[in-house]
Amino acid sequence: MTVATFARLGALLAGTALAASAAAQSFAPRAGDWESYQGNIQHTGYVPITLNAAASRKIWEWRSPHAADGVLPAINPVTISGGRIAVSDDDYFSPQALYVLNEGDGSVLWSHEFPPTTPGLNPATIINGRIFVATSGHQETLMHSFDAETGALLWATHFDSQWPHFLAPTVDANLVASAGGYYGGIVGFRKATGRVAASNFSLPFVDMFTPAMDDDALYFYTTDRLNVLDRKTFAGTSISDPAPSSTCCYSYIGASMLSLARKRVVTLSGDNFSGRASASTGGYYSRSLVSFDLVGGVLEWRSTDLFITQPAMAKGLIFAGSDTPLRLAALNETDGSLAWAWQPSDGSGGFCRNVIVTDSHVFVSTTNAVHAIDLATRQSVWSIAIPGELALSAKGTLIINEGCRESTGRMVAVKVPRRGG
């Protein structure tokens, strides 16, 4: 970096640090729902509830009405808010829809059909009575906003892209942020009107990421760097990762996790590949975890192990699944050292998809089953032989989007009782 670049980075990161206390107040994890990718706009995978996971039971299952009439039966990862589940089809130039389901029984409250010529439909974010979802292709790339109760289309705004797939957009009170750009980048929309607020198309050509946000900046990893962009102008700079785990591909498949308390970003290092380059598929490659110090503007540590899952983070620990060695690792956030580990005994060959952490349990999928691991005993207290992508609501509804490598199109709901409630 040049001296001028360091100065710009220092100014932006200093502003982030000075506002960290206020950000912690307005963006602190609440006992809310799984509204965004990995639950919240920091993408930590943390749901602040205490559970009686040993008493979990399956309550319903659902499959898309379009599962049999297109090229693929897949559905995208789900989000949950206020008793409603948002899920979308994932297919190619085939009938596809956005569905809103009742969390309690899986019944469809409403659906919105997209034209059968739609190249691709991506995962949705549901937050504060609104739903945001992108279609993608060339001219067909639009961000849409719907009323979560009625299904009314509130706005749809075109933005540039070159046949990408997206993760669910990151949304707060004012901004809707998504990957975009014909040659890579990021774009932000005004939440109320859909007007493009800012963009930055000078970034590496990478898709399938979604930024973490606070009051001051957006944070996301592409290829070999952590990008730190001013949330108003999308101008900014980056912190280098000199040894990314892989630079093979043009997808990231995940999101950086923002620690408001420590002013750090922890993220998987390098690119990834999923075969179909789609949000309903899991990545093939294991990657190291890296921690970036936002105040010092440096890479703080790199994990020894390589991890296949999207990690979760809470209360000073980072949880991620590794195939070699085969274990769910709990790493210390301060230095990446191993605090403790859990090894599956279900005959699985590895882990997949994402990790969720609560105040009492960690939920993780092996290739054979989903497990609830008690944080006190560090043992699996419940499991179900349905692997897949996970989501967890504030009411204790665990959603499993079945499929370790690719979505089968089946969604299974499990009731996990809240302790004392």
How far apart are alpha carbons 249 and 370 in whole angstroms? 29
- Residue 39 DSSP code: B
What average pLDDT does range 111-121 have in this prediction? Answer: 92
User: Residues 237, 28, 88, CA angle at the centre, nearest 5°?
Assistant: 80
What average pLDDT does range 99-115 have in this prediction? Answer: 97
Lowest mean pLDDT among 14-23, 128-137, 178-187: 14-23
pLDDT on residue 172: 95
Confidence of residue 5 (pLDDT cuts 50, 70, 90): very low
What average pLDDT does range 392-406 have in this prediction? Answer: 96
Lowest mean pLDDT among 37-46, 61-70, 140-149: 61-70
pLDDT on residue 72: 84
pLDDT on residue 421: 59
Number of helical H runs and strand E runs in the chain? 2, 36
- Count of positions (residues) in the chain: 421
Cβ-in-10-Å burial (0-12, 13-18, 19+) of 397 comes to buried
Residues near 190 by beta carbon (within 8 Å), at least 6 away in sequence: 174, 175, 176, 196, 197
Lowest mean pLDDT among 18-27, 283-292, 315-324, 380-389: 18-27
Residue 256 pLDDT > 70: yes
Residue 287 pLDDT > 80: yes
**331 bridge partner residues:** 318, 338
Confidence of residue 25 (pLDDT cuts 50, 70, 90): very low
pLDDT on residue 23: 37
Percentage of the chain exceeding pLDDT 70: 92
Can you read off the two tokens belonging to residue 152? Answer: 């009314």
How far apart are alpha carbons 374 and 294 in whole angstroms? 32
Confidence of residue 125 (pLDDT cuts 50, 70, 90): very high
How many CA atoms lie within 13 Å of 240's alpha carbon, on the beta-carbon side? 6
What average pLDDT does range 17-35 have in this prediction? Answer: 50
Residue 321 pLDDT > 90: yes
Decide if 240 contacts 249 (C-beta within 8 A).
no
Confidence of residue 4 (pLDDT cuts 50, 70, 90): very low
Q: Model-level pTM?
A: 0.93
Residue 158 to residues 95, 140, 194, 196, 225: CA-CA distances in angstroms? 20, 8, 9, 9, 28
Domain positions in the chain are: 3-415
What average pLDDT does range 314-330 have in this prediction? Answer: 98
Can you read off the two tokens belonging to residue 321? Answer: 């699944």
What average pLDDT does range 4-12 have in this prediction? Answer: 44
Q: Which CATH architecture has domain 3-415?
A: 8 Propeller (2.140)
Lowest mean pLDDT among 15-19, 164-168, 350-354, 374-378: 15-19
Residue 10 pLDDT > 60: no
